[in-house]
Structure 1
Amino acid sequence: MKTIVFEQTGKPTDILKVMDMSAPEPKPGEVRVKVLASPINPSDLMFVQNMYGIRPQLPSGAGFEGVGIVDALGEGVQMRTGMRVSFTSVGTWSEYAIAHQRSLIPVPDAISDDVAAQLFVNPFTAYALVQESKVPEGGWLMVTAAGSAFGKMVIQLCKMRGIQTIGTVRRDNLNDELKTLGITEIINTEHENLPARVKQITDGNGVACVLDAVGGHTASEAMKCLSKGGTMIIYGLLSLQDPTLNAGMMIFRELTVKGFWLTDWMRRVDSQTRQDVAQNVIQLLASGQIELPVEASYSLDDIAKAVEHAEQTARFGKILVKP
């Protein structure tokens, strides 16, 4: 089989390569999945650069999620082969991948392969963070990098719940799409003063919560936009720069700044909560209420081109790897 591997960490376009090897055999509790499609997420690229919460064991495969067909079962696995499943693993950019049976989510026919490939990371994170934000109907929530796949999901979820959203962008080419998805206000941080505009939009009150994936100057400015008692949840660091946090502001405005990592959240919550999130996400995707657009798909042989495309800003959709 063909699979993507890296033998050292570094710039993805420099170190990722295609290798031919024997298809892996599942161990007890595992299944082998014939991969149909897998997305390129920021977390995948951070992992390859050794900048993620999970450290690669070299040589390593790449890609954390995908959709495929179960084609072999390990000892003790009570399911049938031939099922189409969304799954998580390390090494999904491959013709075949091994996944633990607990990571599998059966995919209904109403969800396409392109959508099912993206079912876990962004949808689960967006759903969980909108829950964690505790912003009530009619309240204000800010999401940085609003044009990202995650940002678009948050906007759609908030619209369904009656939550008003402010999104930050650096370019205006996706503004019409964001407005169609239901965003309330858009602020271009290249040309506008973020705290001043938020104050103007919210009648001086600020937002109850900020969901930040950028870090650096953007996160520092976003913190100034919080209302008294507000919360900023940091779930990414696209700028690769830490924000500067104002201690005085945190003290006198009783602000909370905390991190979020989906892997730990999934471990922390009970099984019923995980099932509820999965069912809700699948229902939203199957009904078309939430959209997950795809901009382009690439073969394993074109992994360098795929990564280059995924790293471009101002994309309208996700980049997929299709073995």
Structure 2
Amino acid sequence: MKSIIFDHIGKPADSLACIDSPLPEPGPNEVRIKVIAAPINPSDTMFVQNLYGIRPHLPSGAGFEGVGVVEALGEGVQMRTGMRVSFTSVGTWADYAIAHQRSLIPVPDVMTDEVAAQLFVNPFTAYAMVQDSGVSEGGWLMITAAGSAFGKLVIQLCQMRGIRTIGTVRRDDLNDELKALGLTEVINTETEKMAVRVREITGGHGVSCVLDAVGGHTASEALTCLAKGGTLFIYGLMSLQDPAINAGLLIFRELTVKGFWLTDWMRRVDSQTRQLVAQNVISLLSSGKIQLPVEASYSLDQIKEAVEHADRPGRWGKILLKP
């Protein structure tokens, strides 16, 4: 079988290789999955660079989620083979992957492979963060890097809840698409001053919450856009730079800065909450109310081209690997 591995830390295009590997055997409570498709997410490429919350043990597989068919069962697994499932693991960029049975989500027939491959990381994170934001109907929520796959999900979820959204971009070529998804206002951070525009848009009040994946100067500026008592959630660091935090703003506006990592959120909440989120996410995606566009698909042999495409600015959809 073919699998994507890396034996040194570095840029994904330089570090990743497609190799022939032995067919893996599932251990207790594990299953072997024949992979159909797996997305390239920022968390995947950060992992290869040792910039993620989970550290790689070299040599390591790559890819954290995907969709496939259960082919073999380990000891203690009570399910049937042949089921199509969304799953999470380390090493989903391969012909076959091993996953713990707790990570499996059965996929309804109406859901396409392209959507099912992206079922977990972005949709669950978006749903959980909009829920945790506490922004109610009619309130304002801002999302940085609004043109990302995650940003588009947040925009659509907020529109369904009646939450008004401001999205920041660095290019204007996706503005019409973002507005069509339900984004209320767009701010181009290359040509406009974020804080000034937010005050204009919100009548001087600011936004209740900001979801930021950029860090650095963008997160520092986003903090100044918060209304009194507002919250800045940081869930990524695309700039690879830490934000400078204005202590005076935190004190006198009673602001909160919080990190968000889906892995910890899943551990923190009870099983009933996890199941409810899963049901809601699956329902929204199956109905077509929430869209997860795919821009291109690549084979495992094309891993270098795939990760370079995933890193390209101005993408309108996810990049998938299809073994």
SS at match of 1:136: coil
Q: Distance in 1 between matches of 2:21 and 2:200?
A: 59
- Compute the displacement of 1:15 (Å): 1.1
Counterpart CA distance in 2 for 1:88 and 1:121 is 9
One-letter amino acid of the structure 1 residue matched with residue 60 of structure 2: S
Partners of 1:11 and 1:245 lie apart in 2 by: 29
Residue 321 of structure 2 is matched in structure 1 by 321
Deviation at 1:22, TM superposition (A): 1.1
User: SS where residue 93 of structure 1 aligns?
Assistant: coil
Q: How far is the alpha carbon of 1:282 from its aligned partner?
A: 0.2
Partner of 2:229 in structure 1? 229
For 1:295, the aligned partner's letter is E
Partner SS, residue 136 of structure 2:
coil
Distance 2:62 2:279 in 1: 27
1:9-53 superposed Cα distances (whole Å, 9 cap, x missing partner):
111101100110111000000000000000000000000000000
**Cross-structure match for 1:210:** 210
1:84 CA displacement: 0.1
RMSD (Å), alpha carbons: 0.3
Q: Deviations over 1:245-291 (max 9, x none)?
A: 10001000000001000000000000000000000000000000000
What is aligned with 1:311?
A: 311
| Pair 1:184-2:188 in alignment | no
Q: What is the letter of the counterpart of residue 142 of structure 2?
A: M
User: Which 4+ residue blocks in structure 1 deviate beyond 6 angstroms?
Assistant: none
Matches within 5 A, 1:23-172: 23-172=23-172
SS in 2 for 1:176: helix
Deviations 1:145-187 (A, max 9, x none): 0000000000000000000000000000100100100000000
Letter in 1 for 2:199: K
Q: Structure 1 unaligned runs (5+)?
A: none
SS in 2 for 1:291: coil
Aligned-partner SS, 1:168: strand
Question: Quick one: distance in 2 between partners of 1:24 and 1:226?
Answer: 50
In structure 1, the partner of 2:251 is 251
**Equivalent position amino acid for 1:93 in 2:** W
Alpha-carbon distance in structure 2 between the residues aligned to 1:66 and 1:177? 26
Q: In 1, Cα distance between the equivalents of 2:136 and 2:41?
A: 29
Number of residues paired by the alignment? 323
Name the structure 1 match of 2:297: 297
SS for the counterpart of 2:24 is: coil
Aligned counterpart, 1:197? 197
Q: Deviations over 1:272-323 (max 9, x none)?
A: 0000000000000000000000000000000000000000011000000000
Report the Cα distance in structure 2 between the residues aligned to 1:112 and 1:56, rounded to whole angstroms.
31
What do residues 58-107 of structure 1 show as CA deviations (whole Å, max 9, x unaligned)?
10000000000000000010000000000000000000000000000000
Q: 1:106-165: CA deviations, max 9, x gaps?
A: 000111000000000000000000000000100000000000000000000000000000
Alignment-mate amino acid for residue 66 of structure 1? G
Structure 2 counterpart of 1:187, one-letter code: I
Unmatched segments (≥5 aa) in structure 2: none
CA distance in 1: counterparts of 2:112 and 2:203, whole angstroms: 43
Q: 1:160 aligns to what SS in structure 2?
A: helix
- 3-state SS of 1:254 partner: coil
Aligned to 1:281: 281
CA distance in 2 between counterparts of 1:110 and 1:116 reads: 10
Quote the Cα distance in structure 2 between the aligned partners of 1:91 and 1:302: 16
Identity of aligned residues (%): 77
Q: What is the deviation of 1:57?
A: 0.6
Cα distance in 1, alignment partners of residues 232 and 150 from structure 2: 16
- The aligned amino acid for 2:264 is D
